[in-house]
Amino acid sequence: MNAVLSPFVQSMHAAAQAARLPGSGIGWLDQARAEALRAFLGRGLPDTRNELWKYTALRTLERRAFAPADPDAATRTLDIDALAPGTRGAARIVFVNGAFRADLSRLDGLPGGVTLAPLSRELAERPEPLRFLLGSRQRDDDAFAWLNLALASDGVILRVAPGVRADPPVHVIHAGADAGGEIAWHARSLIEVGEGARLDLVEHHVGGGAQGHFADLVCEVMLHPRAGLDWTVLQHAAGAMTLLRRSDAQLHDDARLTLHALELGGRLARHEIRATLAGDRARFHGRGAFVLRDRQHGDTELLVEHRGRDTVSDAMWRGVADGRARGVFHGSITVAQGADGADANLSNKNLLLSRSAEIDTRPVLEIHADEVKAAHGATVGQLDENVLFYLRSRGIPEAAARRMLVRAFCAEALAGIEPRLRERCDALLAAVLPGEVLP
Amino acid sequence: MLKIDNLHVRVAGREILKGLSLAVQPGEMHAVMGPNGAGKSTLGHVLAGRPGYEVTQGTVEFDGRNLLEMAPEQRAAAGVFLAFQYPVEIPGVNNTYFLRTALNAQRKARGGDELDSMQFLKLVREKLKVMQLSPDLLNRAVNEGFSGGEKKRNEIFQMAVLEPRLAILDETDSGLDIDALRQVAEGVNALRAPDRAFVVITHYQRLLDYIVPDRVHVLADGRIVESGDAGLAQQLEAHGYAWVRERQPAEAGA
Amino acid sequence: MATRPGEIEAALSRRYAAGFVTDIESDSLPPGLNEDAIRALSARKQEPAWMTEWRLAAYRHWLTMAPPRWAKLRLAPIDFQAISYYSAPKNRPQSLDEVDPRLLETYEKLGVPLHERARLAGVAVDAVFDSVSVANTAREELAKVGVIFCSMSEAIREHGELVRQYLGSVVPRGDNFFAALNSAVFSDGSFVFIPKGVRCPMELSTYFRINAGHTGQFERTLIIAEEGAYVSYLEGCTAPMRDENQLHAAVVELVALERAHIKYSTVQNWYPGDEHGRGGIYNFVTKRGDCRGNDSRISWTQVETGSAITWKYPSCILRGDRSVGEFHSVALTHHWQQADTGTKMIHVGRDTKSKIVSKGISAGHGQNSYRGLVKVEAGAENARNHTRCDSLLIGKHCGAHTFPYIEVKNPTAIVEHEATTSRISDDQMFYCRSRGIGEEDAVSMIVDGFCRQVFRELPMEFAVEAKKLLEVSLEGAIG
């Protein structure tokens, strides 16, 4: 068998055999992990014939091998306050190279009814409630989700009890750091917001160092009736990183999910977001922007499924590709049979700034109900030369003018973020935009 | 010609009309006024036969026929016309084509001859003059991209072409500036005829400055609570709808 | 209504009057596909050796391929060994009494004259229409200006060099599963050659071509427009064809040299199966145009109302600078029909433009997918694309899907895609009815309005037929 396995799969296989994962020894968990590993090995990595990976080839990744973990992850010094400013003193949970860092986290001081803990600790103390998250009930053929199930050693367990308003925001920080070699980590998280409860969640992907680690993160989001989640993702992982994420959100009656995502980092960064509007009147609002440069490859897969009645989804994504970057956006809206009264809107606009960059976008609609209002639009283009000229005629140098317009282009998708966080987005954006910085 | 007796109508489970009675004779101009939510538009829609309006009690006779048993297109053929408050856009369907299809369908239903395109065009040109509509409106899709005023004038223009016996104007004045209002009123007045009756549904009295009604009815809480001559509209304008309610305490509570 | 029955009848009888010539050989090959069968087929058609070899190469390639799975279609597996690859039409009913009465009813509604109905239904009436002279007149007129318009079989024999030069140059033998199969076994089709600077003096359609009758399951069409030439080609039929063939896998290749313009219009109304989804044609077509020269232009217009399954993506390769590709489509699925159709616009040259207008109508249990690719290669400076994709749903059990793929590698390109899904609203229906227009008429009026942008692209008589076809196809969709 090993003879045909790629270096990547081999290294994962080896990691599984050597790993001493939290919770091992628990019968159902061991069984689920073993099953997941078999499923992963049987599948191998997805190729571009898989529609969800059509524009993200993994041939390079396939040839690489990663060390199973960073043995010094618990002690590496990292200036989290600088990497994720504004989180100091706030409720936050920090993982460095995949390992929970109690010393950097602050899990107390949360409002009553909010519980925040690392998966590793929960598995040690009360594994039973996690059967749902870790049981082998994989629904599809996502190889990385299987791999994650087989190897996840930590993650976030965050629960908000019914009726509780959990503000100020809770910060989840995944940090990467140099580790004397390229390592892989796998995190599995659960966010559960109870009936009528509300949560503000900010997810940071940060990193220092030059090493190209591999991270495979899976997050399950459960929104009970009338629950509301404001979820902001600031992804500025280290430039050599391979970051594959999958987030599955399940929305029950009258639940609301508002997602804002700013994707800036990583060598290969892919986020597959699945929002299932299972309950009646569930609403999903998604806004996102990616800015890619150099040889970055960014892939956003946004899959929204309307199942309940009178559900609403409304998504707007902006993409910028410069240098030799490739930006991929796939937005898919499915309205299931019987999901009458669905109102679905998807817009994706992209700027292509360089001759060597590429944008691939797919706005897909699948409609199986008739009382539906659905529309989507996608464009690929460049900055409006007339506007550029107007700015220049007012004395703004061309590079600065371009920068200003790109920033404005992205800002439209980020307008709904609460002001302090938006400032942070703006600063992150400013750091990656091409051209001169205006005083 | 039109005889509404004790009409009760439910829409989406809610009772909107609660025993409305109204009689209209040929040649008459009736105004139905009332505050928002009184059931004015419901009256127009139920007379035109809009699906989803459930008549739970009462009768409506039109020329001795049971109007409520008839499909919307049968009512149109019988001569009932509703000028919509919000005329519907039908992308890609040419205005002239729409109107010719409608007219010929009605003529056919009445056992008459269909007009060929030359005859129809002649008719349209005549009517167009009356309504002061720009001819290019005819070549556009039905109501698509029309301004609010254009849509309303288009409704009156359709009325002029279709020559109904009973025209119901549902808030035709809403959203119109004074010039457009005058044009619409002129169009309506030009169509007044001894064998044609009008029911003008409106919130404000201002349309009635231009279209003088024979009878004015106040519709409140699903019923006609007061009727009078044109003077009633002016009193309403002066005192507001609260004034009617005060004058009708016993009935309103019943 | 806008059209008088007489007009349609006239249009229809004109179309079919030319059609039927019984040059069908009495023998057929036994079912089955192998190299011997292909050699035998090629031999019967008296083809030159290069053609036989070409077919065999395609066949060998086909053997290595698997049928595509990605189209959103429910499809029973096809047994390719059960098909006869060279046969006279078989199992023909001997009289109209043996024909499905609903089919005959449809002809009646469309105003098809009685003798034509027999011919359309495939009744073996044999050459009752003496119209060969009409076709010959057309051919003479065309020959005067140097236009070649004949069957593919004849072209292979008479114009071998031209065919050899262009055949497979747009759709290579191994392009896809069905194209490879077609390349191996194609039976017949049309060949059109418009020489340099010639504007074809008439609309060409299969109607004019004497051998067009039953080209069978594997049609192959090749149209070449030389520098500055123009041609408008019409394909299709108005009334549903009764056809025992389950599979149709056609290939159409268009080549436009400098400043040439090819306009290709299709009205496809093969047998769609009955209201329970029984029977009907699987229509798997590869259509591709190559804008090979600068300033060339290829326009595809299609109205697809027939077939149980339609799988076709008429495409344009915009190789020449300033070349233009257009795709206008109406696809209607009713009952259990499935359509997976769209286009590919590949921008290679500078200042190339493409325009896509797709209108999908789904009723009953029909499934309608638009699948399209707009690709801008790195060298395609200032490429422009605009795509408009609208779906109309009628009823609760149908589906309308849109799968656009946009790939851009040039920073001066502008690509815009918009799509909407809507239903015939209750408000629209009530508005029409309150003006005296009955329900079915209101539906066809709204559907016609929805399709207007595409119908405008069709030659006049085709547009009239297309509109009528939609009405007939949608019967029973409401209520």
Can you state the angle between helices B178-191 and B148-162, rounded to 10 degrees? 0
Side chain identity, residue A306: H
The answer to the question of residue B254 being in a domain is no
Q: Is the pLDDT of residue A137 over 70?
A: no
Minimum-distance CB partner of A376 among C413, C415, C419: C419
Q: If 0-12 CB within 10 Å is exposed, 13-18 middle and 19+ buried, where does residue A2 land? A: exposed
B252 domain residue, yes or no: no
The tally of domains found in chain A comes to: 1
Which residues form the domain of A28? 7-279
Q: What is the mean pLDDT of residues C139-158?
A: 88
Q: What is the DSSP string of B135-165?
A: GGGGGSEETTT--HHHHHHHHHHHHHHH--S
- Check residue C134 and give its pLDDT: 41
Q: Note the pTM of the prediction, 2 decimals.
A: 0.82
Cα distance between residue C403 and residue A367, in whole Å: 11
Mean pLDDT of the residues in chain C:
80
Q: Of B254 and A87, which is predicted with more confidence? A: A87
E strand or H helix at A388, and its extent? helix A385-393
Say which of A355, A370, A372 has its CB closest to residue C411. A355
Distance to chain C for A276, nearest Cα, Å: 18
Q: Span C132-155, mean pLDDT? A: 75
Q: Which chains touch B (3 or more CB pairs under 8 A)?
A: C
> CB B91 to CB C450 under 8 A?
yes
Nearest Cα to Cα of residue B20 among B32, B1, B35, B4: B4
Q: Do C378 and A355 touch (CB under 8 A)?
A: yes
How many angstroms away from the CA of C238 is the closest CA of chain B?
23
Instruction: Flag whether B25 is in a domain.
Output: yes
Which of B87, B102, B141 minimises the CB distance to C436? B102
| Residue scoring higher pLDDT (C433 or C6) | C433
* Residues facing B8 on adjacent strands: B18, B57
Among C340, C350, C362, C408, most A C-beta atoms within 10 A, so best to mutate, is: C408
* pLDDT above 90: residue B135: no
CA distances (Å), C459 to each of A272, C233, C264, C266, in order? 47, 10, 10, 10
Residue in C426, C437, C449 nearest the CB of B105: C437
Confidence of residue C180 (pLDDT cuts 50, 70, 90): very high
- Structure tokens given for C96: 């109209």
Q: What is the ipTM of this complex?
A: 0.88
Could you give phi then psi for residue B222, rounded to 5 degrees?
A: 85, 10
- Tokens 């098909």, residue? C83
Q: Does the structure show a pLDDT above 60 at C84? A: yes
Inter-residue contact C411 to A355 (CB < 8 Å): yes
Q: What is the pLDDT of residue C118?
A: 54
Residues 6+ apart with CB under 8 A from A91: A106, A107, A109, A110, A114, A116, A168, A169, A170, A171
Token pair, residue C6, equals 């007489």
Identify all chain C residues contacting B99, using CB atoms and an 8 Å cutoff: 435
Domain that holds residue B51: 2-246
Alpha-carbon distance A306 to A226, whole Å?
17
Total count of domains within chain B: 1
* Among C411, C413, C421, beta carbon nearest to A372: C421
Query: Chains B/A: 3 or more C-beta pairs closer than 8 A?
Result: no
Confidence of residue B242 (pLDDT cuts 50, 70, 90): confident
Residue A28 lies in a domain: yes
Query: What is the distance, to the nearest Å, from the Cα of residue B7 to the centroid of all Cα atoms in its chain?
Result: 18
| Domain membership flag for residue B55 | yes
First to last CA, chain C: 22
Reply yes or no on whether the pLDDT at C45 is more than 50.
Answer: yes
* Residues A297-317 pLDDT 10s: 999 999 999 999 999 999 999
Q: Within 13 Å, how many C-alpha atoms sit on residue C299's CB side?
A: 18
Residue A408 lies in a domain: no
pLDDT the model gives residue C75: 67
**Is A372 at the interface with chain C, CB within 8 A?**
yes
Residue B104: its chain C contacts at CB < 8 A? 1
Task: Give CA–CA dist A80/B83, Å, rounded.
Answer: 67
Residues B83, B166: Cα–Cα separation, whole Å: 11
pLDDT digits (tens, 9 = 90+) for C291-324: 999 999 999 999 988 888 888 999 999 999 999 9
Say yes or no to pLDDT of C269 above 50: yes
The predicted structure's pLDDT at residue C143: 87
Cβ-in-10-Å burial (0-12, 13-18, 19+) of A354 comes to middle
Looking up residue B28, the CATH number of its domain turns out to be: 3.40.50.300
Closest CA to C269 of C97, C474, C444, C96: C474
B149-189 tens-digit pLDDT: 888 888 999 999 999 999 999 999 888 888 888 888 988 99
Is A234 among the domain residues? Answer: yes
Asked if residue A368 is part of any domain, the answer here is: no
Residue C151 near residue C139, CB atoms below 8 Å: no
CA distance C17 to chain A (A): 42
Mean pLDDT value of segment A82-97: 93
User: How far is Cα of residue B216 from the mean position of the Cα atoms in its chain?
Assistant: 15
Q: What span, in angstroms and rounded, lies between the C-alpha atoms of A44 and A4?
A: 10
Q: Tell me what percent of the residues of chain B surpass a pLDDT of 70.
A: 97
Q: How close B234 comes to chain C (CA, Å)? A: 32
For A31-51, letters b (16+ CB in 10 Å) and e give: ebbebbbebbbeeebbeeeeb
